[in-house]
Amino acid sequence: MDDMNFQEVIAYFEEISDEKVVNSNKRFAIGCEYSYGIRLPVIRKLAKEIGKNHDLAIELWNHPYHESHLLATMIEEKGKVTSKQLNEWVNSFYSWDIVDQACLNLLVDLPEARDNIFIWCESEKEFVKRTAFSLIAVIAVRDKKAESKYFDKYFPLIKKASFDERNFVKKSVNWALRQIGKRDIECNRKALDAAYEISQFDDKTCRWISSNAIRELESEKVQKKLS
């Protein structure tokens, strides 16, 4: 399928579309205007068969369906992503899962995306701001070569964003804090210090983020793994 063109991909999506999956996605708060109703493993399998293809990724991104956007993040060639494209894509994010998939499939490998964390974390747009913290979480999981001190620069961003009560922001802030804290003993200590500092603020969102992080990072399972 490595020579599939845009029309063939869309024809395939239309052929296997499933209204039950569309309804299921709505229950998981996946907010998209247009959807074929195709499960993620099916899209991943198709992406693997197609391979990397920048031109096709652009065509798919410009198609207004959720599955075409997900597939675009999987087949995009990281070396061909321009600053303009990166910002256009991120600023058009509309759902938590497109944010997280973009971070996992593409942004984690883009140095400019990492630099932009410090810009996106200040955005008024919920899903742009989520991108900043989801990307931190993904870096913490995927970048095995990063030293513990690499993550120090993210703690001030996490503390500041802990007051943002928007659902998809606070969940990504919590995710970032927990994933940093599960890397190693040093990161665990620093993440717990940050969590306890956040817990001191008289704010409901801060308390939720900190208590959730502390519970996991101090758990026997995590401590045993790190030791």
Cα separation, 109 vs 122, in Å, equals 22
Identify the structural domains of the chain with CATH numbers, from first to last. Answer: 1-80 (no CATH), 95-227 (1.25.10.10)
Cα separation, 146 vs 128, in Å, equals 24
Average of per-residue pLDDT across 160-173 = 98
Cα separation, 128 vs 133, in Å, equals 9
The pLDDT value recorded for residue 2 is: 54
The pLDDT value recorded for residue 31 is: 75
The string of pLDDT tens digits covering residues 126-160 is: 999 999 999 999 999 999 999 999 999 999 999 99
Least confident of 24-28, 72-76, 189-193, 195-199: 24-28
Percent of the residues in the chain that have a pLDDT greater than 70, as a whole number:
99
Dihedral pair phi/psi, residue 53, rounded to 5°: -160, 100
Which residues are within 8 A (CB) of 195 and not within 5 positions of it... i.e. 6 or more apart?
177, 181, 209, 210, 213, 214, 217
